[in-house]
Structure 1
Amino acid sequence: MATARTDGRARGRIETRGDTLRVVVYAGLDPVTGRRTYLREKIEGTDKAAHRRAQKALTRLAAEVDRARTPTTAVSFAHTLDEWMRTADLEQSTRDGYQGYIDRTIKPALGDVAVNKLNARNLETLYSELRRCRKRCDGSPSIDHRRKAEHDCQKAKCRQHECTPMAASTIRQVHSIIARALNTAVRWDWIATNPAAVAAKPRQTAPEPKPPSPAEAAKLIDRAFELDSAWGVLVWLVMTTGMRRAEVAALRWSRIDFNGEMIEIRRSYVMSKGEGREKDTKTHQIRRLALDSETVAVLREHLAACEARYAELGIEFDPEHFVFNSARNPDPRRPYSPDAISHRYKKMAAGLGIDTHIHALRHYSATELLTAGIDLRTVAGRLGHGGGGATTLRVYAAWVAAADRKAAELLGSRMPKRVRKPAGANTAARKPKSAGKRKAS
């Protein structure tokens, strides 16, 4: 049994435990659980030298408590995540995404660890495991069950587990969630420092946009109009404006100025757990984009077709109606689901043998503008990128370089032409002189 020996301090003591000493310092009440908390440190040996080291440790730990540099709670990291999510100001779609990462990845790995015991090594170990297998398996053969309850694996079509690494961008997202939760814990004085601030996270890979070629874009447009004129207008508009799928889904007729040939983008439509709702655009910007005359004509034709369809359905036209809605649900008061847009576009492209997705049309719009010589800030404004073009430059660096080369060639072609002497003219003029010297010698 351990014997205790105090040094006269009310908050600390040195205990003899077998052949070691243990320094214990009272650190106050846990603000979450209300329990008394202590700082402890183990000292090897029980001789006079060990006691001197213990006295120094006692003084140091007491000083840390006085400076409030020590963690003040030992609640689990799972509790910290729950409290952060409860108080964080997040968009609902962002909240749903974060909760998925927390439930599937973070809590199973780190949820039981006390928040004041969490360190950079814990985080880096998690990231290493995720780079190997997103399910963090132990490497032994196993089955990926498709149901949690008792079931017949053959009927449920359960499969042999195959390790699939988590993408570096996804691990960075996991890291970001952990870091934000721990930052909040620091502000609440639950921990002294944020270990995520020093943990090594996966490097950010350079974006690799893959826009369709002009020939592929032409095939996609033709096919879209063949399937459905309204669908063709949607694909056309995304291609010419670079709108996000959520923005084109939320577009209303009142946001299109036919006379001024402008379109205003101020809202987006997102799905969350099967329910759709409107919200601000991704960067909380309101954009007014100029439209070319052909796009305006296409939109006028689409408006006339919509008015005719509304009349057949007995619906009075309202400028607040959505511009696009699913053919399965022609009610103009319900927009086209962004997920349905992506699915239909992917299916259409696959039918043409083109490996692409709806977001690639945004890349197409950006790269066509840049290679045509349009300045970076204008392109960034049309896309709704923040940072004055920094995001645009990072994503489309290769096309910016091509546009820069084109600009250099254009400027060079406008420079005054210099008169150059024929090649070898100076050499020919020197030859007789050298020949004369040889003859004189």
Structure 2
Amino acid sequence: MQKKAHDRIVDTGKEYHVDAYSEHKDIQTQFKVFFNLALFCGLRRGELVALEWSDFDFDQNTVSISKSTSIIDGQLFTKPPKTESSNRLISVPASIMAQVKLYREEQLEYRMNIGSAWEDGNHLFTQWNGRQMYPSTPYGMFKKIIRWHNESVTKEEYKLPEIPLHGLRHTSATLLISQNVDIRTVSGRLGHAQTSTTTDIYSHFLQKADEAASNTLENLFHIKVK
């Protein structure tokens, strides 16, 4: 991240100048994996936090969604989804699955390094000692990444909007709709009980897709008004 030249004042009141410099911000691999799965698979935060390594099929490039984690009375609680449709098998892009594999190797190495401090578990996303990650943790990192990026650019058009973490799931859906993926497939990936839920939430983007379809037909037949 590029920092601009600026002046600082120390506690004694003395002022000094700091030249422009680059500051590197590290993002843990598990957060990169978390955000990519949210974007490319349209998963809910609770579904992501609940993921275990056994949910992945690395031969078929799929992930099984069968549970969700929430906080009840300050404690983590994992349970099956409310609706049967939320239990689903989702195809994961090969590039993202490759990242998941690398993260698994990194986590195994880390586990060996800290030895008995690791509290045995099978979760993807963890605290430093292997315990399951709290759902609030990735949101805090997501906000930091947006802030870091916005501080590193000077032009307003290059800055990212302050969207919630759930916005990655919405982005996944709207991008699929914009690419004319049928609504049943989009609804299935999101885990909606009915396609009507999907159409209600994304009606505006569906209208845009319909307009694009209309224009495609017009261009296909080269219709001209005389």
Query: Aligning the two structures, in what range does the TM-score lie when normalised by the shorter sequence?
Result: 0.7 to 0.9
Of 82, 98, 102, which residue of structure 2 is paired with 1:297?
Answer: 98
The answer (yes or no) to whether the contact 2:31–2:138 under 8 Å persists in 1 is no
Whole-Å Cα distance in 2 between the matches of residues 391 and 308 of structure 1? 43
More relative contact order, 1 or 2 (CA 8 Å, 6+ apart): 2
What amino acid sits opposite 1:403 in the alignment? A
Whole-Å Cα distance in 2 between the matches of residues 281 and 342 of structure 1? 21
Whole-Å Cα distance in 2 between the matches of residues 282 and 310 of structure 1? 33
Whole-Å Cα distance in 2 between the matches of residues 251 and 320 of structure 1? 11
SS in 2 for 1:323: coil
Alignment of 1:357 with 2:164, yes or no, is yes
Whole-Å Cα distance in 1 between the matches of residues 113 and 187 of structure 2? 42
SS in 2 for 1:259: coil
Larger radius of gyration: 1
Deviation digits for residues 395-425 of structure 1 (CA, Å, limit 9, x no counterpart): 111111111122223334444x57x89x6xx
2:156 maps to: none
Q: Which runs of 4+ in 1 moved over 4 A?
A: none
Whole-Å Cα distance in 1 between the matches of residues 129 and 207 of structure 2? 45
The answer (yes or no) to whether the contact 2:62–2:89 under 8 Å persists in 1 is yes
Aligned-pair CA distance for 1:363: 0.7
Aligned-pair CA distance for 1:320: 6.3
Alignment of 1:384 with 2:191, yes or no, is yes
Whole-Å Cα distance in 2 between the matches of residues 362 and 277 of structure 1? 22
1:250 maps to: 50
SS in 2 for 1:314: helix
Q: What is the TM-score normalised by the length of structure 1?
A: 0.40
Whole-Å Cα distance in 2 between the matches of residues 273 and 348 of structure 1? 29
Structure 1: gaps of 5 or more residues? 1-224, 424-441
What amino acid sits opposite 2:133 in the alignment? Y
Identity of aligned residues (%): 26
Computed over aligned residues only, the root mean square deviation of the Cα atoms, in angstroms, reads 2.4
Whole-Å Cα distance in 1 between the matches of residues 208 and 121 of structure 2? 42
Deviation digits for residues 115-156 of structure 1 (CA, Å, limit 9, x no counterpart): xxxxxxxxxxxxxxxxxxxxxxxxxxxxxxxxxxxxxxxxxx
Of 123, 133, 142, which residue of structure 2 is paired with 1:345?
Answer: 142
SS in 2 for 1:347: helix
Structure 2: gaps of 5 or more residues? 1-24, 151-160
Whole-Å Cα distance in 1 between the matches of residues 162 and 93 of structure 2? 28
The answer (yes or no) to whether the contact 1:253–1:320 under 8 Å persists in 2 is no
Q: What is the TM-score normalised by the length of structure 2?
A: 0.76
Of 384, 394, 399, which residue of structure 1 is paired with 2:200?
Answer: 394
The answer (yes or no) to whether the contact 2:65–2:89 under 8 Å persists in 1 is yes
Give the length in aligned residue pairs.
189
What amino acid sits opposite 1:280 in the alignment? P
